[in-house]
Chain A
């Protein structure tokens, strides 16, 4: 059973589409077709709220304001008006994200997922586990499938830098500046050499991806 999501959208077609896509992505949407006065009692138990700003009856921002008096549930705002003031106000009132119409359903699903994932990402873990790879950032230990892997100081610094932001691309320039020894050769080519050595040591399931034009990224090496 996926996360429950409250969808507040007055347009019947768009509401139905969004609800269907959310359901297709494994979520459990509750669809309100009009704005309501939100109270702690009337609020369903949900993990996230998708809120349209232009609603008959109640202005979406008023709902958000009311919601924030008693709940910290993440809110994703939908707006047809690509209006800066609306966005600034929504963020000030405690919205977590907003999307401007039109948007692709996939885009919405991505954003919902990202928002639901966020809290776990924000933990500053001492140990990062990605697929078979385990990186202990404090003990400076790396293991793959439970087998310890010996890395040089630079190789570990490189892996740790990527592991601190799993699934996110880290730019080559940042890695050059923060991982390589500034006293010695500090070029992007050197970085590439260290990366290829690291990959060799970690084996085929290394999970260190090259991101075109950006740099490198650590993903679960077994594809999970």
Chain B
């Protein structure tokens, strides 16, 4: 439901009962004042000489036309003091015997409570009928007093009012006890008959009905600017979403709409930062894949070249060259290591949730790493040895990542090692609760400035992948990252044998 419609309906729902209630209250006030006015004017007229006239000719007495009594509390409460023929409502000429059944003329009667000037309706007619103590009238056209009115009067009430409808016109009868005893005019029944076309009782006048309508119009007009601003904000938010939240929304003013705009601005900033982070990650991944293709395809091409030349030689009946064979095996080994590293890098880039922690036996890890690289080391005539404590050294971590971290260092040692060189993996638990894993070689080593550069935190992503130090980068980068993830320290030092000593140190678990 639209805001305006909802507000308009709410206004209608609130004002209609209020207006109805007020109309009811007003009506009951009006009716009450009619009774009071009729009562007071009749009493005043009777005391102002009408008693004598009535007692003189009770069978034909009517009230003489007099000055209109004013209603005490309400301006429209004018009362017609003019007499009316008994037996008929319209007031007539002064004096008894005036023609009955005659319509009152506006110029004759005083303005009634809803005078013709205001509503254009004819004024009400009045009639008076005398009754004696027994509530019997000598006027033959006087209405018979009903039993309940009699009882009310006898019980001591000085005035009893009754309402009825006669020929579609509202009739008010007030039976008054006169301030004297006896005589044919001890009681007077004053009757007020509404003019034809008088408003049906209970229906509020049209101007009252206008109130809800006006309220609705006022609300609709007042809500207009708010709705406009909400619409504008909606449009701006949509436009912002289309622009991938680049475009801001305008914040004007200090009200709830402005607060909403501000909240959206905050949400937009948050979304933007996440979007840009995601884009950066995606870009990194794209670069990563592109470089990976290059990194894998190059050794694969070399391998294919080796296989092709071996095939040509065997086709000629010659034995394959041992160096070509060794190089082919080395390339295949390199590709395998590279693909494992890429998988590890992908998991490390994805963040901590991808790292599965479980107890890991470092002794077994080292045995597997030695096993993986031994065939290539043997072929290169590099001795690959390991020394581990007798009891398994348990750590908590991701076995795949840890194995890859150790494997990378060993791979580098073999890859860069000289013929007849050495690579050794030593695992020790020198202090309680700590392990120290060292990979030592007697290869060319790494100059100091290069070593510190290799371990810089920012040294990651593509920079690590360049073939600086002939591809040392990616493997060591992953080892570094794995160490960080596990809370270990990685150190690069010159080994006592002239090569490199890579150290990993961390906490052991109970196992």
Contact = CB atoms under 8 A, between A and B. Distances in A.
Contact of B424 (A87, A100, A213): A213
Interface string A161-176: 0001100111101100
B375 to A, nearest CB: 4
Given A82-B343, A212-B383, A171 B426 contact: yes
B340 A212 contact: no
B371 A171 contact: no
Interface in B344-370: 356, 358, 364, 367-368
Contacts of A224: none
A124 to B, nearest CB: 11
Contact of B374 (A97, A102, A107, A213): A107
A164 B336 CA distance: 36
A88 interface: yes
Nearest to A212: B422
B379 to A, nearest CB: 10
B87 interface: no
A218 to B, nearest CB: 13
Given A84-B358, A213-B424, A170 B400 contact: no
A85 B376 CA distance: 28
A140 to B, nearest CB: 20
Majority SS at the chain B contact face: mixed
Interface string A97-125: 10110111011001100100000000000
B475 to A, nearest CB: 15
A169 B366 CA distance: 13
Contacts of A215: 387
Given A87-B400, A88-B358, A174-B428, A213 B422 contact: yes
B372 interface: yes
Nearest to A105: B375
B385 A169 contact: yes
A165 B399 contact: no
Given A213-B422, A214-B424, A214-B426, A169 B386 contact: yes
A110 B371 contact: yes
A219 B226 CA distance: 92
B37 interface: no
Contacts of B497: 212-213
Interface string A70-108: 000000000000111101100000000101101110110
A212 B496 CA distance: 12
Contacts of A171: 387, 426, 428
Contacts of A211: 385, 387, 424
Contact of A107 (B332, B371, B440): B371
Given A213-B497, A214-B385, A83 B400 contact: yes
Interface residues of A, number: 30
A84 B387 contact: no
B430 interface: yes
B390 A165 contact: yes
A106 B374 contact: yes
A106 B390 CA distance: 25
Contacts, number: 77
Contacts of B401: 84
Interface in B363-407: 364, 367-368, 371-372, 374-376, 383, 385-390, 398-401, 404
A84 B356 contact: yes
Contacts of B428: 171, 173-174
Contacts of A174: 387, 389, 428
A97 B363 CA distance: 13
B399 A84 contact: yes
Contact of B399 (A88, A103, A106, A169): A88
Contacts of A212: 383, 385, 422, 424, 442, 497
A174 B393 CA distance: 14
A104 B375 contact: yes
Chain B CB within 10 Å, residue with most, of A82, A170, A215? A82
Contacts of B371: 107, 110-111
A110 B495 CA distance: 29
B260 to A, nearest CB: 46
A103 B385 contact: no
B302 to A, nearest CB: 17
A213 B336 contact: no
B340 A100 contact: yes
A171 B436 CA distance: 12
A173 B399 contact: no
A164 B390 contact: yes
B387 A170 contact: yes
A214 B497 CA distance: 12
A101 to B, nearest CB: 8
B372 A107 contact: yes
Given A165-B390, A171-B428, A213-B424, A84 B398 contact: yes
27 contacts: A82-B404, A84-B399, A85-B356, A87-B399, A99-B368, A100-B340, A102-B332, A102-B336, A103-B372, A104-B375, A106-B374, A107-B372, A107-B374, A110-B371, A110-B374, A164-B390, A168-B387, A168-B388, A169-B385, A169-B387, A174-B387, A212-B385, A212-B422, A212-B497, A213-B441, A214-B424, A214-B426
Given A103-B372, A168-B388, 19 more contacts: A82-B400, A84-B399, A84-B400, A87-B399, A88-B356, A88-B399, A104-B333, A111-B371, A171-B387, A173-B430, A174-B428, A212-B383, A212-B497, A213-B423, A213-B424, A213-B440, A214-B385, A214-B386, A214-B387
Interface of A: 82-85, 87-88, 97, 99-100, 102-104, 106-107, 110-111, 114, 164-165, 168-171, 173-174, 211-215
Interface of B: 332-333, 336, 340, 343, 356, 358, 364, 367-368, 371-372, 374-376, 383, 385-390, 398-401, 404, 422-424, 426, 428, 430, 440-442, 495, 497
